[in-house]
Chain A
Amino acid sequence: MLRRCGMALAALALAACGGSAHAGPPVPPVPVPPVTVQLRIHHSHFQPDVLALPSGALVRFVVTNNDPIDHELIVGDDATQNRHEFGTDAHHDAPGEVSVPSGATRTTEVTVRTGFEYACHLPGHYAYGMKGTIRLR
């Protein structure tokens, strides 16, 4: 992944150079595909509950809720987690935040950074242990 990032940065540099040194059309940056992570929700817990991810990587979380109750996936730092744990906002349209109804599969993308974890903050769910750890490498 680091290698892919490096290639993307190189492409951006080329594009910038091309814009100034040549009159031709700019070269579009090479898109970096996100790292895809599959999460399963079972008995109000995430499986797996520990993820090792590249620091700064764009990660696509694909989460499937196998429970007969609704859940959500919130990926973010402490401030984000606290906002959802103690707030009342039920809408999730920010990167890394998605509601996952019973039986559904939902996807969200976010760039993971230091201090991120993933959790569900529906009433009582976090205290029940519905959270996961992100370890950056």
Chain B
Amino acid sequence: MRRWLAATVVASAAAVLGAGPAAACGGLIGPRGGVNLVKTTTLAGYHDGIEHYVTAFKFLGAGGQFGSIVPLPGVPTKVERGGDWTLQRLVREVQPPVAELADNAVGRVAATSASAQVILTAKVGALDLTVLSGGGTAVGDWAREHGFVLPPDAPEVLDFYATRSPIFMAAVFDGNAAKATGQQLGDGTPIHLTIPTSQPWVPLRILGLGRQAQERIQADVFLLTDRQPSLLPLDGNPGLSLERSESASGSLLADLHNDKSMDWVPTSSMWLSYLKVDSPAGSLTYDLAIDAHGGARPSPWAAGFGADQVALGGGVPGPATPAKDRGWTAALVVLAVIGAGGGLAGLAVATRKR
């Protein structure tokens, strides 16, 4: 275990230290709209009708408070600290073997209600998490009233998600508290959300929140499902690629299963999908719909497609009544809160639609 963990520490640190516009996945909106970037990795696992979403905030050394708002597909039954190595182990699974390099290098790298309703609060490390129910405007109001500085595209993006799911999670990352507790540059705080749902989906559009249209958005998305899923969109979308689609290895499942709060992962018979997002923010106008039940019918509606986009996205008919569709979504959004410049918090979230 130590060998692969060391390897991913190197990979993560490289991404952070070299973070420029090309390594964008999470961003922090500064006082004049500037964005600090870092690449973020998320896992969306789906087993026995339960969605497990795991992601991490990365500490980049700044003081002050920073926040994030994430659309959720439904009300989480549990919000807790994520496992210690799950995300790193997944990255390791899809990277070429670099164990020797790691051993050598590790030592060098340090709805639409009028107002939003608070459903659940939790504190994980330096993160204060609040699950909200409300439409895009209500959640935007709540965020503004709680010190979030929302970028100009936030109203449209919040509405984009609220029409499918009126559940969001707001996170505030206290950089000063992180410093006080000895967090190091690049340290992540993993978050694990447990969300019952019948059909998973992953929000991608939200990754571009606060970005200029030409800025590149990069992200790694891992899916663990009981069987090989059908995904939408893939064909004809150069910004989203399926890099790996295979039966999950026994060693991977065992490593994940043994991580903190990850015993829901079966130790056999799971399917691993690894997708890369590499797209200009202006082109990332869709989400990732997943049919995890073997029906080969991922919902265009769950992918955020309008009627005129369905044909481009694969021509799969949407649900007759979208309001009855169910799905969860995972998102990565980082917005500034009370922000002095610098630093970054990245957060992914899962959302389900009722």
Contacts and interface: CB of A to CB of B under 8 A. Distances in A.
A68 interface: yes
Contacts, number: 53
A130 B33 CA distance: 14
Contacts of B143: 68
B154 interface: yes
Given A102-B144, A124-B210, A127-B212, A69 B155 contact: yes
B153 interface: yes
Contacts of B155: 42-44, 67-69
A125 to B, nearest CB: 5
Interface string B152-167: 1111101100000000
Interface residues of A, number: 17
Contacts of B158: 68
A77 to B, nearest CB: 23
In this complex, the interface size class of chain B, counting residues with CB under 8 Å from chain A, is 20 to 34
A68 B140 contact: yes
B130 to A, nearest CB: 16
Contacts of A123: 29-33
A33 B32 CA distance: 38
Contacts of A66: 137
The 7 closest A-B pairs by CB, nearest first: A68-B140, A124-B33, A123-B33, A44-B152, A43-B156, A128-B152, A67-B155
Given A102-B144, A124-B32, A127-B212, 19 more contacts: A43-B159, A44-B152, A44-B153, A44-B155, A66-B137, A67-B137, A67-B155, A68-B138, A68-B139, A68-B140, A68-B143, A68-B144, A68-B154, A69-B150, A69-B154, A124-B29, A124-B33, A128-B153, A130-B152
